[in-house]
């Protein structure tokens, strides 16, 4: 994913259609959106995929709790996610739903392919099953009181016929792949975690559930009494959306042999640390089994907690991104989540931190834009002066290179911090140059031109740097600077800053007395069930 890359296929996890979007889902999606926008700006051909995970026991149970059919629940919840992403200007190219016919056909073709290649067999399975996590756990993995080690929910002892994928046969290949591609899993801590996991012999993976126990799934093509395990179904979404597989075509022409005409392999899977094993072990071994190329990279980010507590509906501390948006605007929420969490690490939502980050937007960026544009308006009749505007060129250079390095290294928070630093520097430049004093002195008019030109040029650069995080506000900033749209970084570098017709407007990041209360009220009260 270099800035010169021709294409970038980026994916988020597909979110369970059993709960409302919260800031955890929003974070992964914002991160993917920021990277997608960054790559588009750099001229790449981008495909950005998100969607909803709609099969399995979790959905079936939630639907019956709400007295809805599973399909009706999924329709409703897929709509909720789509609505949320629209509100937050998420620029996805494809929203996949695993109940789509196209996806079902690809899943069936995929498992048939594994079977044809001899990687699937039937056997009895007995083990500890967590409905909540929709997976079996080994005795050793179980937490206190026989609870699942992820959510601490009860597990059940289950014995049944299952179809198995010979995952164990691909353990060595996977280990070799990770060794040979040290950047494959980012950050390194997560790579080490996977390597640790792979030190023990891999067990084979149960890929089916008997229909007698679970109706809501995709029937296996070779045994209609079993549905596909929801994680296998879900992971294949990345392939479905890549348009690599043509299920209707005769055997040998279904696209498994050559994916080069499609979006597969993905350039980057963005996931949370909770779903690392499924993405870095199950998924690549399944792909190896099918003879398909592996995704190029996996980014596993940390968790949003509230204070120091895990977010959960039953605890009543789920942070609602929509409530924050209503008060602060979509970009402020994007900014907070992207700027606050160092990629890969955990971060904590607190109303105080949210407000601090908002203040940063208002006082540093908003203030810079407003004073620069007002002065251009007042001293130069709203047209930026022609002439030298290179007062901050050295800082711009440094910022651009720090920003690009950080983005390429997937450290979006650092890229944004570099951009905000440039805005801070520009505010310092205003203090130093004292344009109000320059304006009063007839001898210093060319100096004033240079000050104003430099500020305009810096704002143009900032609009391009901050577009991936704040598409709405940066589009507005570009408009106020008299530009037809936000320039790409390359274009921005070439804009001198002179001759722009600026437009004063209301603050980009307004403030009011209700903000503190709103940041606290976004932490929702207790609800009936845990989210996730």
Nearest Cα residue to 304 out of 319, 287, 285: 319
Beta carbon nearer to ligand MSP, 75 or 359:
75
What DSSP letter does each residue of 379-443 carry, written as one string?
Answer: HHTTBPPPS---TTHHHHHHHHHHHHHHHHTT-HHHHHHHHHHHHHHHHHHHHHH-HHHHHH-GG
Long-range contact pairs involving 402-410 (C-beta distance under 8 Å, separation at least 24)? 403/465, 404/3, 404/489, 407/35, 407/38, 407/468, 408/1, 408/2, 408/3, 410/35, 410/186, 410/268, 410/299, 410/343
Nearer to ligand MSP, 426 or 531 (CB): 531
Tell the smallest beta-carbon distance from residue 233 to ligand MSP (Å): 9
* Least distance to ligand MSP, CB of residue 314, Å: 14
Minimum CB distance to ligand MSP smaller for 142 or for 151: 151
From the list 46, 68, 48, the residue with the least C-alpha distance to 59 is: 68
Residue with Cβ nearer ligand MSP (24 or 385): 24
Q: What HEC string does 184-209 produce? A: CEECHHHHHHHHHHCCCCCCCEECEE
Judged by CB, which is closer to ligand MSP: 27, or 88?
Answer: 27
- Which of 165, 403 has the CB closer to ligand MSP? 165
Q: What are the structure tokens assigned to 208, written together? A: 């089916």
The residue (of 25 and 380) whose beta carbon lies closer to ligand MSP is 25
Q: How many residues does the chain have?
A: 532
**Least Cβ distance, residue 177 to ligand MSP (angstroms):** 19
For the CB of residue 310, give the shortest distance to ligand MSP in the complex, in Å.
Answer: 7
* Euclidean distance between CA atoms 53 and 15, whole angstroms: 5
Q: CA 196 to CA 29: how far, in whole Å?
A: 28
* CB of 29 or CB of 438, closer to ligand MSP: 29
167 beta partners:
none
Choice between 25 and 113, CB closer to ligand MSP: 25
Task: Kindly tell me which of 279 and 480 has the beta carbon lying closer to ligand MSP.
Answer: 279
Q: How far is the CB of 179 from ligand MSP (least distance, A)?
A: 25
Residue 331 CB, nearest approach to ligand MSP (Å): 20
349-378 in b/e form (b: 16+ CB < 10 A) is bbbeebbebbebbbebbbbbbbbbbebbee
CA pair distance 43, 31, nearest whole angstrom: 19
For residue 281, give the nearest of 215, 351, 338, 231 by alpha carbon. 231
| Least distance between ligand MSP and beta carbon 200 (Å) | 23
CB of 523 to ligand MSP, least distance (A): 13
Residue placing its CB nearer to ligand MSP in the complex, 5 or 323 = 323
Phi, psi of 356 (to 5 degrees): -60, -45
Please, is 60 exposed, middle or buried when counting C-beta atoms within 10 Å of its C-beta (0-12, 13-18, 19+)? buried
How many beta carbons lie within 10 A of that of residue 75, not counting itself? Answer: 16
Q: Cβ 38 to ligand MSP, closest distance in Å?
A: 19
Note the residues at the interface with ligand MSP (CB under 6 A).
13-16, 24-25, 27-28, 53, 234-235, 237, 271-272, 274-275, 303-304, 311, 532
Residue nearest to ligand MSP (CB): 24
Tokens of 304: 């949003």
CB of 89 to ligand MSP, least distance (A): 19
Q: How far is the CB of 498 from ligand MSP (least distance, A)?
A: 45
């Amino acid at each position: 994913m270099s800035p010169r890359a021709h294409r970038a296929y980026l994916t988020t996890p597909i979110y369970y259609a059993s709960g409302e979007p919260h800031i955890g889902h929003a974070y992964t999606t914002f991160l993917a959106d920021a990277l997608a926008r960054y790559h588009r700006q750099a001229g790449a051909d981008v495909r950005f995929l998100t969607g909803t995970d709609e099969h399995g026991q979790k959905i079936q149970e939630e639907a019956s709790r709400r007295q809805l059919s599973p399909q009706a629940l999924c329709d409703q919840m897929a709509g909720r996610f789509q609505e949320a992403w629209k509100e937050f200007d998420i620029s996805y190219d494809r929203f996949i739903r695993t109940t789509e016919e196209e996806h079902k056909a690809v899943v069936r073709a995929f498992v048939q392919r594994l079977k044809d290649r001899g990687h699937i067999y039937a056997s009895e399975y007995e083990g500890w099953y967590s409905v909540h996590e929709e997976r079996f756990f080994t005795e050793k993995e179980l937490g206190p009181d026989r609870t699942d080690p992820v959510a601490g929910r009860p597990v059940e002892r289950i014995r049944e016929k299952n179809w198995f994928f010979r995952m164990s046969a691909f353990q060595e290949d996977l280990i070799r792949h990770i060794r040979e591609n040290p950047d494959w899993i980012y950050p390194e801590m997560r790579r080490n975690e996977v390597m640790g996991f792979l030190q023990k012999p891999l067990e084979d993976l149960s890929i089916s559930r008997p229909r007698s126990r679970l109706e809501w799934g995709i029937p296996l093509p070779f045994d209609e009494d079993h549905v596909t395990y929801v994680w296998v179904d879900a992971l294949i979404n990345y392939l479905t959306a890549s348009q690599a597989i043509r299920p209707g075509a005769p055997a040998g022409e279904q696209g498994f042999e050559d994916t080069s005409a499609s979006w597969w392999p993905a350039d980057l899977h963005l996931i949370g640390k909770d779903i690392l094993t499924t993405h870095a072990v199950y998924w690549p071994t399944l792909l190896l089994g099918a003879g398909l190329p592996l995704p190029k990279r996996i980014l596993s980010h940390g968790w949003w907690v509230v204070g120091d507590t895990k977010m959960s509906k039953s605890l009543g501390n789920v942070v609602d991104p929509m409530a924050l948006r209503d008060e602060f605007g979509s970009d402020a929420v994007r900014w907070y989540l992207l700027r606050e969490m160092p990629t890969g690490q955990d971060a904590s939502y607190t109303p105080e931190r949210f407000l601090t980050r908002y203040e940063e937007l208002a006082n540093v960026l908003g203030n810079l834009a407003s004073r620069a544009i007002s002065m251009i308006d007042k001293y130069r009749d709203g047209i930026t002066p022609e002439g030298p505007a290179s007062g901050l060129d050295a800082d711009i250079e440094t910022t651009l290179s720090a920003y690009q390095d950080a983005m390429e290294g997937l450290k979006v928070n650092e890229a944004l911090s570099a951009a905000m630093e440039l805005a801070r520097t520009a505010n310092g430049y205003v203090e130093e140059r004292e344009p109000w004093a320059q304006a009063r002195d007839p001898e210093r008019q060319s100096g004033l031109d240079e000050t104003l030109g430099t500020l305009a040029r810096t704002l143009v650069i900032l609009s391009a740097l901050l577009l991936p995080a704040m598409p709405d506000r940066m589009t507005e900033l570009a408009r106020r600077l008299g530009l037809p749209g936000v320039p790409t970084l390359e274009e921005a570098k070439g804009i001198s800053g002179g001759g722009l017709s600026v437009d004063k407007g209301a603050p980009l990041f307004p403030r009011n007395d209700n903000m503190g209360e709103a940041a606290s009220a976004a932490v929702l009260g207790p609800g009936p069930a845990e989210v996730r």
